[in-house]
Structure 1
Amino acid sequence: MGYSAGGAKGVGSIDQAIQCVEREDDVLATEVSAFKRFRTLVSRVDPEGPSPRQVGNAGPAFARATAPDQARDCGQSACSDVRKAYRQTVMATDHYEAEYGETYAESIEAEFGATFAAVLAGGGRFSADVKSQLITAITRGIEDRRATRSTLQRERTALERAGTTLSALRDDLAAIGSRPFVECQYTELRAVREDLQAIERQCERLVTERQTGDFHTAAILLSRESGGSLSQFLYDSLEVTYPILHDAASVGNRVADLRRRIDEQLARRPASAGGPGSHKTEVAEHLY
């Protein structure tokens, strides 16, 4: 069986992978709440400057001269309100510094693009159109995170199901490995060898399902992330990039080791015990 752990370098741990998924889900849940609060605060910011009639009683000429400046000041004040709201919500999350460590301008550009950064962090005017588009962008960011959380839930389910399957297979292998093969009859050894083949087939099905079937998870990433698979995104901090494939490979290696020990004992049994000659041929075919 050609198992490949996808470049895994250490001891595989589906439990550690589940912890990574849970941590990322907690981050996303916190960010969804933070962006919802930010959206609420932005919706309360009035981007409009005063009209000429609101300037005062100094006359139409003064109104025409001062209204544009006051409108601009109001717009810039609105940008300050947006900045304050962002810092009080998104940038105030417990994980922000560790996960991002970005300045306000950097974060706005990463989340919403250079155009918004130029307005909100570059001294532009917070017009009604900017406000509307910003609220739309915030909502899109919230929905992206919710979609990613759904993907993480599918990934966690896949990890848990695979972990349960592999744990049961490891228990079966531990029971097989505890048997004194040297004392077993030929027919017993053949039966155990068939059990190992069944375990191997279960591993192969698990690997196939992980790559193409029920255990496969679509690679949906946050909008601020670029490229890379879901596994790379989630498990970059682990020694194992593909935990299910790694642990399946570990079980497969154990199967191979036990089968080798059994084949050695089968080859030593006398012909009267069940015909070792035919088994030697079978072993050779399996190896080559």
Structure 2
Amino acid sequence: MHAHTLAPLDTAMDVVHDERSEVTAERDAFAALADRIAACPAQSPPTAPRHDTGATVTGVGVSSVGSASDGDPSERLRRAYRETVMSVDHYDAVYGESLFENAATELGADLATALRGGVPFSPAFKSKLHETVMDARAERKWFLERLRTETASLTDARETLGDIVDTIPRNGSTPSQTVDELWRRCDDVGRERQDVLRTQFRSAPDGLYEHLYRDQSWTYPVLNVVAMLVADLDGLRRIDDSREFGR
């Protein structure tokens, strides 16, 4: 048995590390977008002009936010979206979508359409947009917790299974008690991993592992390695049994 048996675990840890980096960047990007939205002054509801004073009423029937100097609010929001959500390093590689395609997925079709223009930046619209962006941030935060759980599970399994690989004698003669003990340790790792999987599935049966390990030949790295080690240990048992029988 060799260290390459553990390769699925090392690959999985790299995959999860990269995923955590991307999701963290997206979480921070949506937080930044929420801040940009919060900083935009909403357009006050129209009020009746006061002819008796000759005062000019601003913010009525115009598309600017707060004042004419603010420019088109829709363009301001689109620029904020590009400079936050669409500016993460992995955006093109992972998403490769137009602003409106991505906004429709993340914020919903109605808000994505509103970003095209023609919708006054009213307090109600601002509140809804900010709330939806914060929901997108919360989804990333929640997903990061699941990825942290996966990282901890992989790390623990890698340590124990690595020790098992290092413990197996290489001289062709393995005491049966050693094989039995190693087999039990593998079984314990498998059981612990099954507990983690059940917890993750209860949290959200959304194909987490199919998503994370979609480019691999396996979906459950820990169970894959456990199965390989158990098969090898069973083979050593058969060798020992045959030697014992041949004496």
2:68 maps to what in 1? none
1:178 aligns to 2:171 (yes or no)? yes
Question: What are the equivalent positions in structure 2 for 1:45-124 lying under 5 Å apart?
Answer: 45-48=40-43, 51=46, 68-70=60-62, 73-74=63-64, 77-121=72-116, 123-124=118-119
Equivalent-residue separation in structure 1 for 2:94 and 2:162 (angstroms)? 33
Distance 1:56 1:106 in 2: 46
**CA distance in 2: counterparts of 1:99 and 1:119, whole angstroms:** 25
User: Aligned pairs, how many?
Assistant: 237
Q: Distance in 2 between matches of 1:194 and 1:152?
A: 37
Aligned pair 1:199/2:182, yes or no? yes
What are the residue-to-residue correspondences of 1:235-246 with 2, within 5 Å? Answer: 235-246=213-224
Residues 206-261 of structure 1 show CA distances to partners (whole Å, capped at 9, x for unaligned) of 11211125x7651567xxxxx63221121112222110000101111110111111
Match of 1:7 in 2: none
Shift of residue 103 of structure 1? 0.8
CA RMSD of aligned residues (A): 2.9
How big is the shift at 1:87? 0.4
Q: How does the TM-score come out when normalised to structure 1?
A: 0.73
- What is the distance in 2 between the residues matched to 1:88 and 1:56? 43
Is contact 2:78–2:115 with CA below 8 Å preserved after alignment?
yes
TM-score, with length taken from structure 2:
0.84
Shift in CA distance, 121/56, structure 1 to aligned 2, threshold 3 Å:
farther
Structure 1 residue 56 displacement after superposition:
10
C-alpha deviation, 1:57, in angstroms: 10
User: What does 1:180-259 align with in structure 2 at a 5 Å threshold?
Assistant: 181=173, 192-212=175-195, 218-219=200-201, 228-259=206-237
2:6–2:162 contact (8 Å) kept in structure 1: no
Label 1:92 to 1:67 Cα distance change in 2 as closer, same or farther (>3 A): closer
Q: Whole-Å Cα distance in 2 between the matches of residues 67 and 46 of structure 1?
A: 11
Deviation of the 1:67 alpha carbon: 6.5
Using the alignment, how far apart are the partners of 2:17 and 2:33 within structure 1? 24
Alignment correspondent of 2:30: 35
Structure 1 stretch 26-35 or stretch 116-125: which is displaced more?
116-125
1:146 aligns with 2:141: yes
Greater gyration radius = 1
Q: Assess, with a 3 A threshold, how the Cα gap between structure 1 residues 80 and 55 changes in structure 2: closer, same or farther.
A: farther
Matches within 5 A, 1:14-33: 14-33=9-28
Aligned to 2:125: 130
% identical equivalent positions: 27
Q: CA deviation at 1:200?
A: 1.3
